[in-house]
Structure 1
């Protein structure tokens, strides 16, 4: 499955969840918005943190969403590489496998941009 298919599938899954538990998903959306818009860190830095956590937690759906958000926030492939290196350093072998997935997603999305 391509990363484009993965992000489309993830969005479809989330739409179903929104319909099933609208109050919970609305509250989570509010939390996400508050985190993104407040605090001293810029959005790109926050997305890098989120991606590092996604890699360490081995969440492909999270990886694909945060890679896309980082591209929209103006991140570079080199910055992504630094964050992925830190994720591997903190998470070892399993993190390395998911860091490779994040880089692959970045490269696929870059080809389509």
Structure 2
């Protein structure tokens, strides 16, 4: 079964918004952390999103794959850059990460227009 990463991303957005309403303290803190961590600084936002994607693959997090593939594409990541990111994730995560690398490839193909 192939995960619909676009629908999964949309589902996560809704659920995280609900958590923000029901648990505003921790979620607002995390939202601020997320915003600050991925905004441009010494590294640009695209590099940071690619790093987050590699970590998501290495730690076996499908939600992270959905979120950070979406966000990396949104800030201009190319297929080649996303595939290089998968390579780093494989280095850091080994064999188990290869399964999540396949999941990431599904996400890339769903979020990235075919012409990119």
Query: When the two structures are superposed, what TM-score results if normalisation uses the length of structure 1?
Result: 0.90
**1:78 maps to what in 2?**
80
Please give the secondary structure, in 2, of the residue aligned with 1:10.
Answer: helix
What is the number of residues matched between the two proteins?
113
Structure 1 unaligned spans of 5+? none
Structure 2 unaligned spans of 5+? none
Return the match for 1:37 from 36, 39, 43: 39
Please give the secondary structure, in 1, of the residue aligned with 2:112.
Answer: helix
RMSD over equivalenced CA pairs, Å: 1.8
Structure 1 distance, partners of 2:90, 2:58, is 8
After TM superposition, list the pairs within 5 Å mapping 1:83-102 onto structure 2.
83-102=85-104
Structure 1's consecutive aligned runs of 4 or more residues displaced over 6 angstroms after TM superposition are: none
Return the match for 2:19 from 14, 17, 21: 17
Query: When the two structures are superposed, what TM-score results if normalisation uses the length of structure 2?
Result: 0.88
Higher mean alpha-carbon deviation, 65-74 vs 3-12, is at: 3-12
CA deviation profile, 1:85-113 (whole Å, cap 9, x unmatched): 11112211111110111111110123599
Structure 2 distance, partners of 1:11, 1:38, is 22
Structure 2 distance, partners of 1:110, 1:38, is 22
